[in-house]
Chains A and B, each alone.
Chain A
Amino acid sequence: MNAIPDSNIFAATNAVAWPLGGGGTFRHPQASASAVALAFGDPAGVQASFQARYRGFGSGAPSAAVNPDWKALPSSRADPHAEVFDRLIDLKVSTATIAMHLQDAWRTGLFRQLDDLLDEENWHPGDTLPTPDSFRTFLRLVIMLGRPPRPGLGCTDSGNILASWRRTEDRLTIECRLDDELRWVLSRRLLGETESAAGICKVKNLRSRLAPYEPEVWFVAHDKHSRP
């Protein structure tokens, strides 16, 4: 008889792992906070703990890159590029947060681009690698845009992801910053004249900011494989 419920399987993502069964042993390193909140009947605390724990996953990087509970052990490849390799995997793990909303071909193509971006030959010790926070903003941007063709990818010196779309003379580059902030720069040929513009906005406001420039030229897929 399974009379005493034990603790959950340890979630790889830290999504949720409460020791909710009475008498269960705490196997999760973060378990104590929510357990205390439960014991003292603090529903707000429990809800906050629930959110906080899930955010650890929702940020797209449950790994040592952003989660202090996990410590990266030396890579199997004991070389100076180990950090680059680990970051590449971290960003792919982040993609899992939205992978259910992507077509497989789009995800595979994105991974190929990440492989190129984080090609070990292009990075030197001390370089700032693309950050998980910036990549999270990028993923939210991609889903918010609905079905954009896959953009070109780059990275700023500060580790922010750059996404760029180009259609003949029309160009759009977006820097993905922390907390959904975007910095965008565009050049667009309209009614025989070339216009340039730049701005900073949140992901949710990007469409309205770009509306005067008819952004469909960048965001409407031109082939079936580029749709997410």
Chain B
Amino acid sequence: MNYPHPPIVEAAIEFRFAGSGNQNDLEAATKKLRSAYPRLEEARPVLVTVQMANAPRASSLSPPPAIRKMTSADGADIVMLQPDSVAAARLAPYRDWEDLEGKFRKNLGAARAIVKKRRLARIGVRFINRIDVAQDELGSFNHRDYLKLGDNLMPLEDAPVLGLMFSVTSLLDRGRFGVIINCGKVDSPLVDHAGLLLDIEVFNQANLPVTDADIWVQVTEIRSWKNRLFEASITDRARAMFQ
């Protein structure tokens, strides 16, 4: 369902590829994308390993590759690059799927130094939503008015929930896809409101399609699952807030 005011704070599509590229590939892709995404930042993850005295020596691990984040001039579109992955993200205001997928396809073309002819290793679609909910004078609200969560099954009193964090990792469609759902109460940028974060990622990292056409069919299928999960997770009251 397309909402006039979707609560999406970030929508992303990502392809990961088998066999990592190198720094040169990253530089080449960065250069191609720089005019459309002029703000460039980099994060270097740190790998920490602990070797127990009596344990057999683990094989040496290479440090995780740098992650590049490139932002458009209006601050709403972002490209994430790693030597083995390309992602497009759209912050609020979210336009529509066609806009996001179109930009992602364009980014893939520009980042062909990373894509090359590599085999796909993972397709992921992730949507992070934040529903801003008014709190009463005591700072509480009932999250069940907005989200359908497993805690309905628990023997809790019908009292305000002060903290909330909920996570599900599972499979969809008889194992064809994986899903990670994170949900929790977070700060809202609105005064006297709380944020309900609903973060849904659907992915495939097994038996990936090979041809271009099949890949995009599967991306659409993954998106469709993501939508079904979102609709199943929210109440009509929440739905009315996005109209």
> Which of these binds chain B: A87-95, A122-130, A149-157, A216-224?
A87-95
On chain A, the residues within 8 Å of B171 by CB distance are: 1-3
Whether B132 sits at the interface, judged by CB under 8 Å, is yes
Q: Is the CB of A1 within 8 A of B189?
A: no
On chain A, the residues within 8 Å of B29 by CB distance are: none
Tell me the chain B residues, 26-40 only, with Cβ under 8 Å from chain A.
Answer: 34-35, 38-40
A93 and B167 in contact, given A1-B206, A72-B41 (Cβ under 8 angstroms): no
Whether A201 sits at the interface, judged by CB under 8 Å, is no
- B: interface residue count bin: 35 or more
A51 and B186 in contact, given A16-B197, A29-B43 (Cβ under 8 angstroms): yes
Set B12, B14, B124, B165: member contacting A50, Cβ < 8 A: B165
Alpha-carbon separation in the docked complex, A111 to B78 (Å):
17
Q: Is the CB of B42 within 8 A of A11?
A: no
Whether B108 sits at the interface, judged by CB under 8 Å, is no
Q: Is the CB of B48 within 8 A of A11?
A: no
> Which of these binds chain B: A139-147, A162-170, A171-179, A192-200?
A139-147
Q: Is the CB of B203 within 8 A of A2?
A: yes
Of the candidates B43, B76, B124, B184, the one having the most CB atoms from chain A within 10 angstroms of its own CB is: B43
Whether A12 sits at the interface, judged by CB under 8 Å, is yes
Whether B220 sits at the interface, judged by CB under 8 Å, is no
Q: Is the CB of B9 within 8 A of A96?
A: yes
> Which of these binds chain A: B89-97, B211-219, B227-235?
B89-97
On chain B, the residues within 8 Å of A12 by CB distance are: 10, 12, 69, 78, 80, 87, 89, 91
A100 and B187 in contact, given A10-B67, A13-B128, A47-B163 (Cβ under 8 angstroms): no
| A residues with CB within 8 A of B | 1-3, 5-6, 8-13, 15-16, 18, 20-22, 25-29, 32, 43-44, 46-47, 50-51, 54-55, 57-58, 60, 63-64, 69-77, 85-86, 89-102, 104, 107, 111, 136, 139-140, 143-144, 180, 203-204
14 additional A-B residue pairs with CB within 8 Å, beyond A21-B169, A22-B169, A97-B9: A2-B176, A3-B175, A8-B199, A11-B89, A12-B80, A13-B91, A16-B184, A47-B163, A50-B186, A74-B40, A76-B40, A99-B76, A100-B5, A104-B93
8 cross-chain pairs, A with B, having the tightest CB-CB distances, nearest first: A92-B75, A96-B91, A93-B75, A2-B178, A99-B92, A12-B89, A1-B175, A54-B186
| B residues with CB within 8 A of A | 5-10, 12, 14, 34-35, 38-46, 48, 64, 67-69, 71, 73-76, 78, 80, 82, 87, 89, 91-94, 122, 124-126, 128, 130, 132, 163, 165, 167, 169-171, 175-180, 182, 184, 186-192, 195, 197, 199, 201, 203-207
